[in-house]
Amino acid sequence: MTNDRAGLFYIDGDWCEPVAAAPAIPVIDPATETPIGAVAAGSAADIDRAVAAANRAFPTFADSPVAERIALLGRIAALLEERTEDFARAIASEMGAAIGFARAAQVPFAIAHVRAQMEVLADYRFERQEPGFTLCKEAIGVCALITPWNWPLYQITAKVAPALAAGCPVLLKPSELSPYSALLFAQVMHDAGTPAGVFNLVGGTGEVVGAALAAHPDIAMISITGSTRAGVLVAQGAAVSVKRVVQELGGKSPNILLPDADFAQAVPRGVMAGMRNVGQSCSAPTRMLVPADRLVEVEALAASAAAEWRVGPPSDEATTMGPIANAAQYARVQDMIAAGQAEGARLIAGGPGRPAGLDRGFYVRPTIFSGVTRTMRIAREEIFGPVLCIMPYADEDEAVAIANDTVYGLGAHVQSGDPKRAKAVARRIRSGQVHVNYPAWTAHAPFGGYKQSGNGREYGVHGFEEYLETKAILA
């Protein structure tokens, strides 16, 4: 299916050719560094066509009964579940996720976003009476959605599901680096009976398609997940038309291990959390903050945990860590590992280059540095790879100070044997989410950042309300 649709866009309820011919964008298999296909590159003219379709659909869809929108989301979720294996294999080939991880996390978590929005919509009050006025919540309008390559399906459903629940037609621009899962998703939307114009997909680059979306005067809102640099460019383009901008951007998340934590459990789980998805998660806890007098113990536990990862081809059922998703990111990770060594951080696991026996593909050795200080690049810059920094602290106040010493504020973790103490520390951390003692993930907890990690929130009712306008009727 992906090859059949690779040269097409999905606009106004059907697959269509680009308005103008342009060189196709190659898709590279990160496990082999070879092309596995190519996708169409969109233009501003394609965006105009899709926006016109979405605007035609808006009045009817915004007014559609809640029950109809819940039913549509239910059909989408059912089709995603039915086609889980197709999506898992697409994600493994396009961005290198281990097939087991794609099946266990990438796809199920994406489906969870759709289910969560069905639950939100079932209970939401779009109109309520307040003293002296009626408060109305209404669909904001046509929404542009820009999604990244690292969690390709998950980030699509995190945006599409709340937009549809709110009654907003959407125009999706998936990453051109991992586009096949998005094409599969577009077919799901078609097969689910989504009304024409309500869901549209135009592929291409951020410089062309992303810029056209940001600047388009008939788009009411744009939501982007990506780098802080990309988020800034989108916000600048959107400012001219004063559209709403929701950004989920970079991170450098701390993981504070308080002295009373169970280190035998907390350290290995912290390594796993920092390195899952090959460390390519904006909220990955890549700074492990530990008591200085426990540093030797932590290093041994962490090095042992890093050795447990099995790096190899994504299609191999035994693989737990596939390659980095693309060549540019692989070069970035190697550069940051070299920077850590040059700045004097102590390498206790991994290091530069590929793991032994893997001479081809964007494979990285699971890497851990210790003795990392606040001023080092590896402590300050987002690496986006399986590279963990262990940073010692003297006391709780210093731990919090180190945790907050970053331009980012997306996620954080706190480990403690005392839940009350852990929550007290969590309240002092400047980030949009804080996980205490590795809790279960939920698609209802709001997700988004402080500082340069973004604006607005995704997931659950908070993500849903980003797609609504607020009206007060005084009578």
> Burial of 109 by CB count in 10 Å (0-12 exposed, 13-18 middle, 19+ buried)?
middle
Enumerate the β-bridge partners of residue 135. Answer: 128, 472
Three-state SS annotation for the chain: CHHHHCCCEEECCEEECCCCCCCCEEEEECCCCEEEEEECCCCHHHHHHHHHHHHHHHHHHHCCCHHHHHHHHHHHHHHHHHCHHHHHHHHHHHHCCCHHHHHHHHHHHHHHHHHHHHHHHHHCCCEEEECCEEEEEEECCCEEEECCCCCHHHHHHHHHHHHHHHCCCEEEECCCCCCHHHHHHHHHHHHCCCCCCCEEECCCCHHHHHHHHHHCCCCCEEEEECCHHHHHHHHHHHHCCCCEEEEECCCCCEEEECCCCCHHHHHHHHHHHHHHHHHCCCCCCCEEEEEHHHHHHHHHHHHHHHCCCCECCCCCCCCCECCCCCHHHHHHHHHHHHHHHHCCCEEEECCCCCCCCCCCCCCCCCEEEECCCCCCHHHHCCCCCCEEEEEEECCHHHHHHHHHCCCCCCCCEEECCCHHHHHHHHHHCCCCCCEECCCCCCCCCCECCCHHHEECCECHHHHHHCCEEEEEECC
Q: How many Å apart are CA 343 and CA 159, to the nearest integer?
A: 40
- Give the residue numbers annotated as catalytic, written as ranges: 248, 282
Q: How many Å apart are CA 177 and CA 38, to the nearest integer?
A: 10
Enumerate the β-bridge partners of residue 367. Answer: 387
Bridge-based pairing state of the strands 468-473 and 133-139 = antiparallel
Q: What is the pLDDT of residue 3?
A: 64
Q: How many Å apart are CA 87 and CA 185, to the nearest integer?
A: 8
Q: How many Å apart are CA 253 and CA 251, to the nearest integer?
A: 6
In one letter, which amino acid is 19?
A: V
Q: What is the pLDDT of residue 92?
A: 98
In one letter, which amino acid is 442?
A: T
CB distance 28 to 326 below 8 Å = yes
Q: What is the pLDDT of residue 1?
A: 43
Strand order in the sheet with 435-436: 346-349, 367-370, 387-393, 287-291, 254-257, 413-415, 435-436
Q: How many Å apart are CA 83 and CA 90, to the nearest integer?
A: 11
Residues of the chain with pLDDT below 50 are 1-2
CB distance 39 to 27 below 8 Å = yes
In one letter, which amino acid is 246?
A: V
Q: How many Å apart are CA 453 and CA 443, to the nearest integer?
A: 19
Q: How many Å apart are CA 375 and CA 339, to the nearest integer?
A: 12
